[in-house]
A and B are shown apart, each in its own frame.
Chain A
Amino acid sequence: MRSTFRDAAHLLRPAALLLIGLAVFLVVRAAVIPKGFGKYGHYRAPFLETARSKPIHYAGQDACVACHDEEAKMRAAGKHAKVACEACHGPQAQHADDPTSLKPKLPDVATLCARCHEKDPAKPRTFPQVVTAEHNAGAACNDCHKPHNPHLD
C-alpha cells in the first residue's frame, strides 16, 4: 500500500500545480470582478445608480401632448401618429421643465424628411419614399406637406 502511494506520489505534483492555478485564478477573479456584478443580470448592479444619476434628455410623449394640443390632434389623425414628437424635434426635457425660457429650434425639413423618406431599395415598397432631388425641385417639404399630418388634401 505504501509503495503504491510512493509510486503514484508524482501525480500529486501536476494536481497541485492545477490546484494552485485554480486558486490563483479564483483570487484574481475575486479581486477584479466589480462589486455587485450579476446581482440582477450579467452586468454591474451599481451601474443602475450611475445611470440614474445622468441627466434626463427626453421629456416623453405625454409631456409634449399635455401642452401642444393642436399638434397632437393633427399628428394622431395622420400617418405620423406613431412617430414620437422628439423623434423629429429632438430631446426636449429641458423645454418641458421650463417651457417659456427654453424654446426649441424648428427642425430643418430639408434633411429631416429625407432621413426617412429618401428612396432606398432596401425599404419596403409600401413605405412612402421619393428621390428628393426630383420630387420637390428645391422647394421645402412643408410648403406642401404639413409635418404633423403630411397627407395632401
Chain B
Amino acid sequence: MMIPGVDGFMYPNEVELQWSILIVLYPYITGLVAGAFILASLERVFKVEAVRPTYRLALLTALAFLLVAPLPLQLHLGHPERSFEMYLTPHTSSAMAMFGFVYLWYLTVVLLLEIWLDYRADIVHMSKTTTGVTRLVYKVLTLGSDNVSEAARRVDDKVGYVITVIGIPSAFMLHGYVGFIFGSVKANPWWSTPLMPVVFLFSAMVSGIAAVLVLYMAAMKVKRLPIDMRCVDTIAKYLFYTFVIDFTLEMLDLIHRTYEADESFRSLDFMVHTRLWASHVLLQIGAGTVVPLLLLAATQLRRFAPGARKAIYSITSCLILVGIFAMRWNVVIGGQLFSKSFLGYTSYKMGLVTREGLLPAVALMLLPFAIFFVLIKLLPPWQHSEANAAD
C-alpha cells in the first residue's frame, strides 16, 4: 500500500514526524538569547566600547526571547504543569532535566540580575518622577533601595562585571546543551556528531548578533535617532568573524561526513539533493550563508558610504536570521525525513491552526517582540538617564 508523501521503505514509526516546527523554534529562540547575551558581554567584559549603544538593547532582547524559549516545548508536550516536576524530582542522568536548572540559573542569577544592576539608577529615578501604577511598578523594581550614590553605582558595575563573566559560560551552556541534545542521538546519523554543540553555539552567536544589529537599526529608525555608525560597523565586524568560524565549522562537518562516507551517506546525500534542496542548499547555504558572508566581507574590504553600509547590514542580518532558521529547520525536520533503514523518505506536513501548526509557531515567534516592546517601554535602553549620565 502506498502512503502519500512516503517514498521507498519507512519503518512504521518513522512515517509521521514527531518533532514539529515548534521544536525548530526552540533552538532558534534559545540561540537568539545566547547570541544577544554574548554581544552584550563584548562591551562589558571585553571592553569593546564601540558597541556600548547596543548593550542594554542586547540584554533586553536576550530576556524577551529567554522568557519565550520554553513555550514551544510546553506547547509541543502539552500538560505544561508537569514541567515543574523536573525541578521537584530531577533525574540527574537526563540532560533535559538538568537544562531546567541551567535555564533557571541563567534567567534569575545572570540575566535578571545583570539588567537590574545596570538599570538600577534609572529605576530609582523613575520611581521618583512617575506617578500612579507606573510609579508602583518602579517602586517594586527598586526592591526598596534607592541608594544610587556614585560609590553604590561602582559596586553595581563591579558585580555586573562578575555576573557577565559568569554569564558567558552560562550562555554557552544554555545553547551548547541544545546542540548536545541533538548531537547525542546516536541512532540518527544526521544529528549524531560531537561537532553539533559547537556548530549550534556559533550559529547562535551569529543569529543573536544579527538580531540585535537589525533591532538596533530598526529601533533608531522608529525613534528617528541617528544610527551610531561606529557601533554598527563594529558589530558587523564581529558578526563577520563569528560567521567565518561558524561557516568553517559547518564546512568541516560537511567535509568530514563526505570523506568518511559511512553507511548513511548515500541516503543523506540524496535527501539533501531532493527534499532538503530548497531549505538546505538554497536557503541555508546560499541565501543564508554565502550571500551574507560575501556582503560582510565586502564591507570589511571596501569602505562604502554610510547609507550603503546600513542597507548592507540590514539585508545581511535579515538573510542571516532566515538562514539560521533554515539551519534549525534542516537539523530538526531533516533528521526525521529519512528512514533509519536508509531505504526511504517521508515528508513533513505542517498543520495550519493545529496545536503544533504554523499559526501557533508564528504567534510564538511574535511573542518575544511583544515582550521586547513592553520591556523597552518599561526600561528604555536608548539614552542613559540623568542618574547614569552623572557617572
Q: Which of A1-16 contact B (CB under 8 A)?
A: 3-4, 6-11, 13-14
Is B259 on the interface with A (CB-CB < 8 A)? Answer: no
Per DSSP, chain B at the interface is: helix
Is A38 on the interface with B (CB-CB < 8 A)? Answer: yes
Contact B147 A9 (CB under 8 A): yes
Contact A13 B145 (CB under 8 A): yes
- Residues in A with CB closer than 8 Å to B143 are 10, 13-14, 17
A21 to B109, CA, bound (A): 12
Q: Which of B137-176 contact A (CB under 8 A)?
A: 143-145, 147, 149, 151-152, 154-155, 159
A28 to B152, CA, bound (A): 35
- Residues in A with CB closer than 8 Å to B91 are 42
- Residues in A with CB closer than 8 Å to B125 are none
- Residues in B with CB closer than 8 Å to A10 are 120, 143, 145, 147, 152
Contact A29 B145 (CB under 8 A): no
Q: Which of A104-123 contact B (CB under 8 A)?
A: 121-122
Is B89 on the interface with A (CB-CB < 8 A)? Answer: yes
Contact of A25 (CB < 8 Å), options: B9, B87, B154: B87
- Residues in A with CB closer than 8 Å to B154 are 7
A28 to B144, CA, bound (A): 27
By beta carbon, the residue of chain B nearest A16 is B143
A94 to B144, CA, bound (A): 71
Contact A11 B155 (CB under 8 A): yes
Is A83 on the interface with B (CB-CB < 8 A)? Answer: no
Contact A18 B108 (CB under 8 A): yes
Contact with B along A18-45 (1 / 0, CB 8 A): 1001000100110011000110001000
Q: How far is the CB of B245 from chain A (nearest CB, A)?
A: 35
By beta carbon, the residue of chain A nearest B112 is A14
- Residues in B with CB closer than 8 Å to A122 are 11-12
Q: Which of A35-73 contact B (CB under 8 A)?
A: 37-38, 42
A131 to B377, CA, bound (A): 69
A38 to B145, CA, bound (A): 43
A122 to B147, CA, bound (A): 72
- Residues in A with CB closer than 8 Å to B11 are 122
A18 to B104, CA, bound (A): 11
Of the candidates B9, B12, B88, the one having the most CB atoms from chain A within 10 angstroms of its own CB is B88
- Residues in B with CB closer than 8 Å to A17 are 143
Contact of A14 (CB < 8 Å), options: B9, B113, B149: B113
Q: Which of B91-144 contact A (CB under 8 A)?
A: 91, 108-109, 113, 116, 120, 143-144
- Residues in A with CB closer than 8 Å to B152 are 7-8, 10
A38 to B92, CA, bound (A): 12
Contact of B88 (CB < 8 Å), options: A4, A6, A7, A29: A29
A14 to B140, CA, bound (A): 12
Contact A37 B113 (CB under 8 A): no
Of the candidates A10, A14, A25, the one having the most CB atoms from chain B within 10 angstroms of its own CB is A10
Contact of B89 (CB < 8 Å), options: A9, A11, A13, A42: A42
Q: A4-B155, A42-B91, A121-B9 are in contact. List 14 more A-B contacts (CB 8 A).
A: A3-B151, A4-B151, A6-B147, A7-B149, A8-B155, A11-B155, A13-B143, A18-B108, A25-B87, A29-B88, A32-B88, A33-B88, A37-B89, A38-B89
Q: Can you give 28 contacting A-B residue pairs, CB < 8 Å?
A: A3-B151, A4-B151, A6-B147, A7-B152, A7-B154, A8-B152, A9-B145, A9-B147, A10-B143, A10-B145, A10-B152, A11-B159, A13-B143, A13-B145, A14-B113, A14-B116, A14-B143, A17-B143, A18-B108, A18-B109, A21-B108, A25-B87, A29-B88, A32-B88, A33-B88, A37-B89, A42-B91, A122-B11
Of all A-B residue pairs in the complex, the 8 with the closest CB atoms, nearest first, are: A10-B145, A13-B143, A7-B151, A7-B152, A8-B155, A7-B155, A29-B88, A10-B147
> Which B residues form the contact surface with A (CB < 8 A)?
9, 11-12, 87-89, 91, 108-109, 113, 116, 120, 143-145, 147, 149, 151-152, 154-155, 159
